[in-house]
Structure 1
Amino acid sequence: MIYDKQTIDAVFQEVEKMLGIEESAGYQRIFEKGMKRGREEGREESLVDITIRLLIKKFRKLPKEYVVRIKEQDTYVLQQLIDNIFDINELSELDDYLH
């Protein structure tokens, strides 16, 4: 049998209520971990967006290859780019920051 997503969600909600899963420490831990991960991913996406926008503003154009590479960077590298945006004078200097 195949059930639609709405039916599956309704069944899971009912089971959670019956078992009091939402109140368990394990459930809370998993929920908090998921929330934290979501916030971290959202923050990283914001840093990518800000970095790209600042570089476009500074250099008027940003080659696609740099956009792709920036999207692959971790939070630390993105923060370094933002922190040093005023010290970067040529696009080629981005290579010093990007992996």
Structure 2
Amino acid sequence: MEKIFLLAGIAGSVGGLCLLVYQGLMYLMHNTWTQYSVLTLVEKGPDFLADTVRSVPAAANALAACPLFAALIVAGLVLLFIGSMLRNRYG
């Protein structure tokens, strides 16, 4: 079980770093910074989730202000922490 958390944490952290590198390369190529936020991810997901978030303006503003690469890195680090705690406890 801990291996699933560890691999998901690695994937999330690497995904966040790759997104940051991609945004940096696109900035260098086109001289415009394209900001991907967590709200972009929610809007591309299921319709009920996007409708729920849009109905609460504070939640929509908070998700729009949070960069997607930072959220991916933090989620990956949290999953790595949970995986290491499981490995230490049951390993």
Q: TM-score range by the shorter chain?
A: 0.3 to 0.5
Q: TM-score, normalised by structure 1?
A: 0.35
Pick the structure with greater CA Rg.
1
Tell me which of the two structures has the higher relative contact order, counting C-alpha pairs closer than 8 angstroms and 6 or more residues apart: 2
Which structure has greater helix proportion?
Answer: 2
Q: TM-score, normalised by structure 2?
A: 0.37
